[in-house]
Every structure is written in C-alpha cells, then in structure tokens.
Structure 1
Amino acid sequence: MSHKYLIDVNLPYYFSLWNNPNYVHQIDIARIAKDSDIWSYAKDSDKTIITKDSDFASRILISPPPPRVIHFRTGNMSMKEFHSLVSKIWHEVVDLSNTYKLVVIFNDKIEAFN
C-alpha cells in the first residue's frame, strides 16, 4: 500500500525526496490555510501531515488517526543539512509512521508515539 503525505508550508517545497505523486504540498492545495483546514484535508484524504508545527503534534496526541503526523523538531538548519538528515532517516520514519500516529524527528534521535 502506498502512503500519501501532506507537506506543511513550513518545510522545503523543492526537495527531491518528496517530489513524487505520494506527496502533496499544502501550498498547492491552498496558499493560505488554517491548521484546522489542513487537518481536515489530511483526515479526509487519509494523508500523513509532515510539519514543523507543534500544534499538529499536540492535536494528534488526543485524536485517533487519520491523519498521522511526522513532526520535525530540528530547529533551523541549512537546506543541505536538512536534506542530509532526512535522506538518512526517511525510510525509518515512514516505517514508524505506519505503526505510530506521531513520529517526532530531532537532530539526534527519532521518537514515536501512539
């Protein structure tokens, strides 16, 4: 089964790893959207939200999926550093996201929550 993802506006738009039909950028759906609209869209279309916004991580902890949430808590980093980190861990993150409703990515570790 191929999983689908919704990338929040606070993450890079041009990122080769996420440049395929399984990934849609929020900006391509609506240039400006409230978090509640993004949540509803992801829930209705069974997409996992990829974000740096802690509001989505907080909300999924008290809600059943869908959607699921992948939350980056890496702070500011260069595009090169971000790409390097994500390229190294992305398969593990996807695997964890298939089991857990929240996956949190830090610079030095990954945590998953149900």
Structure 2
Amino acid sequence: MKLLLDNNISHKLLSRIQTVFPDSEHVRSFVGVTAEDIAVWEYALSRDFVILTKDNDFDERSLVNGCPPKGVHLICGNRFSDYILQLIMNNKDEIISFGTLDRQNCILKIA
C-alpha cells in the first residue's frame, strides 16, 4: 500500500516511511508546494494512492465523491515531524488494513 503525503505533511517524512509504505510519494514531487486539492485527489485516484493529510478537505470531498481514493486524516494539529512519524508508525497496521481491506469507509481518522 502506498501513501500520497499532502503538502501539510513534511516531505522529509517520505524517506522515513518507505520501509512500511513503499512507493509512497509527496505531492510536491508532481505538482509542487501549491497543489490544489482536486489535483491531489485526481493524482491519487489515477495511481491508487491513499492520501495522508492533516486537514479535513478530503473528508468533505469523499462525502461528495465517495472513494477511491481513500484518505487518512491525522488529527494532530501543528506538531513536529517526529511526532507525526510516530503517529503514523504507531498506527501502521490500522492504516494498512484500512487501505487494503476496508471496502466501506473512505476516511480513516487517527488522533
């Protein structure tokens, strides 16, 4: 399972999650730091990514459009990257299960 890190998550985390989430990418690698949500959504949809974000924009979009793509919403406010990395790694099994097995839910919220 691969994640697409939204602009609100540091690109520096990408190399630190590759062992658990291989082939993951950061949005800045394809559209830069000014990526519009619709561009992120379409990129994730066309390449089978699960979007990893800290805001609720994709929650709202999934209510209208459904899924795929799926999204993981980290509810953690403005935290340091090490905290966010720990949050991801502590919940990696749940994230993987959600991304690969869950066929009903579009958004996974992790706090």
Identity %, equivalent residues? 27
Which segments of 5 or more consecutive residues in structure 1 lack a partner in the other structure?
A: 107-114
C-alpha distance in 1 between matches for 2:82 and 2:3:
22
Q: Structure 1 or 2: larger strand share? A: 1
2:28 counterpart residue number: 27
Q: Secondary structure at the match of 1:53?
A: coil
1:41, distance to aligned residue in structure 2 (A): 1.2
Q: Determine the C-alpha separation between the residues in 2 that align with 1:33 and 1:68.
A: 18
Q: Kindly indicate whether structure 1 or structure 2 has the higher relative contact order, using CA contacts under 8 Å at least 6 residues apart.
A: 2
Query: Could you list the runs of 5+ residues in structure 2 that have no partner in the other structure?
Result: none
Map of 1:41 onto structure 2: 43
Mapping of residues 3-82 of structure 1, within 5 Å: 3-15=1-13, 16-18=16-18, 21-31=22-32, 32-82=34-84
Query: Aligned-pair distance for 1:6?
Result: 1.2
Note if contact 2:53-2:72 (Cα within 8 Å) is conserved in structure 1: yes
Residue-by-residue CA offset, 1:39-89 (whole Å, 9 max, x unaligned): 111112221111112111111123232111111111122223222222211
Task: Output the CA distance in 1 between the equivalents of 2:47 and 2:86.
Answer: 29
Between the aligned partners of 2:52 and 2:12, the Cα distance in structure 1 is: 14
